[in-house]
Structure 1
Amino acid sequence: MDEMALRWIEGFELFGTATGAPSQSALENGLSAKWVTTVFSSAAYLQPGRVLGKSLECQGNSGVLIRRQFASTKTTWIVGFAMKGNTANSGDIMKIFNSLELETNASGQIFVKRSSSTLGSSGDAGGETFVFFDGVWHYIELKVVIDASSGSWELRVDGSLSASGTGVNTGTPASLIEFGCQRDGQFLDDIYICDGDGSANNDFLGPVFVEGLLPTSDGNSSQWTPSTGTDHFAVIDENPSDLDGTDSLTTTTQDAKETFGYGNLTGGQSAIFGVQVNTDARKTTINNQDLRNVARSGTTENEDVAVSVTDDVNFATVASVFEQDPDSLSPWTPAGVDNAEFGFKKD
Structure 2
Amino acid sequence: MALLFMDGFDHYSFNEITQKWTARDSSSIYSNDIKPTSGRRGGGALLVGSSGGLYKSVPARATFILGVAIYPVTMPSTGGGQPLFELRDGSTQQIYVFIDTAAKLRVYRGGGVLLATSDNPLPVATWSYVEFKATIDNSVGAYELRVNGQTWLTASGIDTQNSANAFANYACLGISGANDANIYYDDFYLCDTSGAANNDFLGDVRIDVLVPTGPGTYQDWTPSTGTDHAALIDETAPNTTDYLTGATPGAKETLTLGDLPVQGSVVAVQVCNYLAKADSGSAKARNLIRSGTTDAYGPESALSTSYVYNLSVYETDPATGNAWSTAAVNALEVGVEVAQ
Q: Same fold (TM over 0.5)?
A: yes
Counting only pairs closer than 5 Å after superposition, residues 175-190 of structure 1 correspond to structure 2 as 175-180=169-174, 183=180, 185-190=182-187
Alignment partners' CA distance in 2, 1:251 and 1:344:
9
Does residue 1:211 correspond to 2:201, yes or no? no
Corresponding position of 2:153: 163
44, 62, 66: which one aligns with 2:33: 44
Q: Secondary structure at the match of 1:330?
A: coil
2:97 to 92, 98, 102: 102
Q: Is structure 2 residue 214 aligned with structure 1 residue 225?
A: no
1:317 equivalent in alignment to 2:314 = no
Aligned to 1:126: none
Which residue of the partner structure matches residue 55 of structure 2?
A: 67
Q: Distance in 1 between matches of 2:128 and 2:285?
A: 37
C-alpha distance in 2 between matches for 1:246 and 1:131: 43
Aligned length: 319
Offset of residue 256 of structure 1: 1.0
Whether 1:35 and 2:27 are equivalent positions in the alignment is: no
Cα drift, residue 287 of structure 1 = 2.5
Over the matched positions of the two proteins, sequence identity in percent amounts to 33
One-letter amino acid matched to 1:250: T
| CA gap 1:94/1:43 in 2 versus in 1, 3 angstroms | closer
The CA deviation string for residues 289-318 of structure 1, in whole angstroms up to 9 with x for no partner, is 222111111001111111221x21x21111
Amino acid at match of 2:33: A
CA distance in 1, matches of 2:245, 2:312: 20
- Rounded to whole Å, the distance in 2 between the matches of 1:304 and 1:251 is 17
Which residue of 113, 118, 124 corresponds with 1:122? 118
Q: Given the alignment, which residue of 88, 104, 107 partners 1:112? A: 107
- One-letter code aligned to 2:43: G
Give the Cα–Cα distance (whole angstroms) in 1 for the partners of residues 326 and 251 of structure 2.
29
Residue-by-residue CA offset, 1:188-221 (whole Å, 9 max, x unaligned): 1000000111100000000111111100001011
Q: Would the alpha carbon gap of residues 174 and 330 (structure 1) be closer, same or farther in structure 2, given more than 3 Å must change?
A: same
Is 2:79 the partner of 1:85?
A: no
Greater alpha carbon shift after TM alignment, 36-45 vs 276-285? 36-45
Distance 1:82 1:170 in 2: 24
> Matched residue of 2:329: which SS?
helix
**Contact 1:75/1:196 (8 A) holds in 2:** no
Q: TM-score, normalised by structure 2?
A: 0.90
Question: How far apart, in 2, do the equivalents of 1:113 and 1:87 lie?
Answer: 22
- Provide the aligned C-alpha RMSD in A: 1.6
Give the whole-Å Cα distance in 1 for the aligned partners of 2:205 and 2:139.
32
Partner of residue 282, structure 1: 276
1:342 aligns with 2:334: yes
How far apart in 1 are the matches of 2:209 and 2:175? 22
Task: List runs of 5+ in structure 2 lacking aligned partners.
Answer: none
1:86 maps to amino acid: V
Asked whether the equivalents of residues 295 and 303 of structure 1 are also in contact (C-alpha less than 8 Å), the reply is yes
Which SS does the other structure have where 1:234 is aligned?
helix
Q: What does 1:9-28 align with in structure 2 at a 5 Å threshold? A: 9-15=6-12, 27-28=13-14
What is the rounded CA distance, in whole Å, between the counterparts of 2:249 and 2:223 in structure 1?
A: 17
Q: Answer yes or no: is the 8 Å Cα contact 1:52–1:210 preserved in 2.
A: no
Normalised by the size of structure 1, how large is the TM-score?
Answer: 0.88
Contact 2:286 / 2:300 at 8 angstroms: preserved in 1?
Answer: yes
The secondary structure found in structure 1 opposite 2:107 is: strand
* Matching residue within 131, 135, 160 for 1:141: 131
Q: 8 Å contact 2:34–2:44 — kept in the other structure?
A: no
> SS of the residue aligned with 2:206?
coil
Tell me if structure 1 keeps the 8 A contact 2:75–2:182: no
- C-alpha spacing 1:145/1:184, structure 2 compared with 1 (3 Å): closer
Q: Is the 8 A contact 1:122 1:155 kept in 2?
A: no
Structure 1 residue 250: deviation in Å?
1.3
Look up the match of 2:265.
271
The C-alpha deviation readout for 1:89-143, integer Å capped at 9, x for no partner, is 11111011132111111010111111111122224xxxxx1114x2110111111
Distance apart, 1:181 and its partner CA: 6.9
- Residue ranges of structure 1 left out of the alignment (5+ in a row): 16-26, 124-128
Q: Distance in 1 between matches of 2:125 and 2:219?
A: 47
Change (3 A) 1:83 1:291: same
**DSSP 3-state at the match of 1:335:** helix
